[in-house]
Amino acid sequence: MHGKLYKQLMGSREWRRLRARKLSANPLCERHQAMGKVVAASVVHHIVEVESGASEAECRRLAYSWSNLQSLCRECHKEIHMQRGTWGRDNHHEREQERLGQWASRLRHPDPWKQAPGGRFLSEGGQSSEIT
Ligand SMILES: [Zn+2]
Ligand SMILES: [Zn+2]
């Protein structure tokens, strides 16, 4: 399949909204969580590859269905794709997601440093300032 459709699906406002919702519902890496570790998620991964859909409708369904989404940190995301052998292909998608992630966190917290002078408050509890 058609990188063009994938790009189109991932560039839509619907996806940006869904992705932001997923990251606020599951702000921690689900793979690390399963191992009892707390790591901030920065990527929303599709459990079943969007590009494995046989038709445009199928790809769309895979891209936007909540149960196909997984919050992951960058390392876990890379590992999963390395295991699948789809890392190289997915690389530019991740860069795109990072850009969107910065946009989404700015939206949620327009100015985190105002709430946390010196960043001291944010570092309490060991959580990354990226997600708090
Ligand atoms: Zn992925
Ligand atoms: Zn992880």
pLDDT digits (tens, 9 = 90+) for 65-84: 999 999 999 999 999 999 98
pLDDT score for 31: 98
- Would you say residue 124 has pLDDT above 80? no
Got the DSSP string for 88-122? HHHHHHHHHHHHHHHHHHHHH-S-HHHHSGGGHHH
- How far is residue 59's CA from residue 116's CA, in Å, rounded to a whole number? 42
pLDDT score for 1: 54
Q: What is the average pLDDT score of the chain?
A: 79
Question: If you measure from the C-alpha of residue 67 to the centroid of ligand 1, how many angstroms do you get, rounded to a whole number?
Answer: 14
Question: If you measure from the C-alpha of residue 21 to the centroid of ligand 2, how many angstroms do you get, rounded to a whole number?
Answer: 19
pLDDT score for 122: 43
Dihedral sign of CA atoms 88, 93, 98, 101 in order = negative
Average pLDDT over residues 6-14: 94
Q: Which tokens hold the place of 41?
A: 């998620």
Ligand nearest the Cα of residue 83 is 1
pLDDT score for 128: 46
- Would you say residue 130 has pLDDT above 60? no
Question: If you measure from the C-alpha of residue 15 to the centroid of ligand 2, how many angstroms do you get, rounded to a whole number?
Answer: 22
- Would you say residue 102 has pLDDT above 70? no
